[in-house]
Structure 1
């Protein structure tokens, strides 16, 4: 259903993602809101890696309720509040995508902050499935 698009006329991706994704016909589009590192009880870990893990757990729950999963994600957009959080975020993202054959397009931005000071990372996903 999806095909990686990585033209040889531009620099290759410098991480485990694709520059673009081409899809076939789909019947469902799932777009998540940005997910923060908020646990079901409303708590938020101090550690960026734990926050990123919670972001992806939240995305997994949304995708599951929609009838799909990580293999259906065609785009991830992530936001971190410090450049030093890059490696931890990427490790969590790559673990979440383990086993996914066609990696989604991906963007990571460093931002000055979120609605609450303790938030360090936010992730949103776009998924497609069904034909």
Structure 2
């Protein structure tokens, strides 16, 4: 099990995440590439919330393939193309993490764009596979 690192000597987290994570001993580290809102058939919704949901569904599939689940995620890095997408991303992320006791470290950046114009969000995850 990971341990949240939220020192009282610094400001508390800005949202529902941990400033840092100390992992328990792990058999391996699982790192995803940035996941886009691409469905298995290659389609991509124009809606940022649906794209975010698909990103997390893709991450779920990768975690499952590695023998991990959401509770094993120690870091999320996300990128959106507009500040206006921040609330939708945060809502979906918080829903995805519902029931996860130790929230992963988290970073969200606003970027100018991705490889295709229709992409509005990209998310990558780091997880630990427990022994």
Q: Distance in 1 between matches of 2:114 and 2:24?
A: 36
Partner of 2:21: 21
| Superposition TM-score, scaled by structure 1 size | 0.98
Whether 1:52 and 2:83 are equivalent positions in the alignment is no
Partner of 2:40: 40
Residue aligned with 2:26, SS:
coil
User: Deviation at 1:69?
Assistant: 0.8
User: Deviation at 1:61?
Assistant: 0.3
User: Deviation at 1:37?
Assistant: 0.2
| Superposition TM-score, scaled by structure 2 size | 0.98
CA RMSD of aligned residues (A): 0.6
Alignment length, in residue pairs? 131
Partner of 2:111: 111
Partner of 1:73: 73
Deviation per residue, 1:8-47 (Å, 9 max, x gap): 1111001000000011211111000000000000000000
Q: Distance in 2 between matches of 1:38 and 1:124?
A: 14
Q: Distance in 1 between matches of 2:109 and 2:59?
A: 18
Runs of 5+ in structure 2 lacking a partner?
none
Partner of 1:128: 128
Q: Distance in 1 between matches of 2:66 and 2:50?
A: 24
Q: Distance in 2 between matches of 1:57 and 1:118?
A: 18
Whether 1:31 and 2:28 are equivalent positions in the alignment is no
The ranges of structure 1 where at least 4 consecutive aligned residues each deviate by more than 2 angstroms after the TM superposition are none
Runs of 5+ in structure 1 lacking a partner?
none
Q: Distance in 2 between matches of 1:24 and 1:61?
A: 23
